[in-house]
Structure 1
Amino acid sequence: MATTSPSPLDSYQQLGLRISKIINSPTAQKAKSALIFKLEHESPEDWAQLLEEIGENDNVTLAWRDDGGVQIFWVVPKED
């Protein structure tokens, strides 16, 4: 019986996973805000694509900081 190992994540998926962990941390969830930075080894194209996708969400605001970080703010819509 052959076993297949899961295929490794590509650079964009790795970036998405890293940022997702930051955004989903209890501290960020409580503050409805997260500060993210591009790591040296991460691709500028992946970074730009990720920020564009995050920014497309209706309740999300991105703020670029002078230190190169990006602050993400979000609002949780009220339930009807």
Structure 2
Amino acid sequence: MSAQEIAVRMEELTSLERLGLRVSAMINSPLAQHGRKVLVHRLDTDRDQDWSAIIDLLSETDGLDMAFCDDGSVILQWDAPTDDDRVIEREVELDLVRHEEEAPF
């Protein structure tokens, strides 16, 4: 994809989508994943309603701790998945496979 195509695609995104992608990139960065902690900063171009929507979504996420800084940024911290979490995920996957294998009639 050329730089021009990327620029056109970025123009098609809403301000909320752009903010969501930026926050997601911060959370998924290797450094943040290694330390299970990230500072999410608000840019001057972030709209109030978009920032509030992202903060609301993050606050509804189980296992995510949020610390609000004086400058408006937010520190997100999370625990590494435990073996218990992995067992639950595996049981859900197995249950889905079992349902897919059942005859539809």
* TM-score, normalised relative to structure 1: 0.85
Q: Which runs of 5+ in 1 are unaligned?
A: none
How big is the alpha-carbon RMSD for the aligned residues of Structure 1 and Structure 2? 1.6
How many pairs align?
76
Q: Spell out structure 1 runs of 4+ moving beyond 4 A.
A: none
1:49 to 37, 41, 53: 53
Q: Identity across aligned pairs (percent)? A: 36
- Whether 1:39 and 2:33 are equivalent positions in the alignment is no
Q: Which runs of 5+ in 2 are unaligned?
A: 1-7, 85-105
Q: Which has the higher contact order (CA 8 A, sep 6+)?
A: 1
Which residue pairs with 2:26 in the alignment? 22
1:60 to 60, 64, 72: 64
| The structure with more strand, counted as a fraction of residues | 1
Moved more, 14-23 or 63-72: 63-72
CA contact (8 A) 1:59 1:76 kept: no
| The structure with more helix, counted as a fraction of residues | 2
In our comparison, the structure showing a higher alpha carbon Rg is 2
Which residue pairs with 1:69 in the alignment? 73
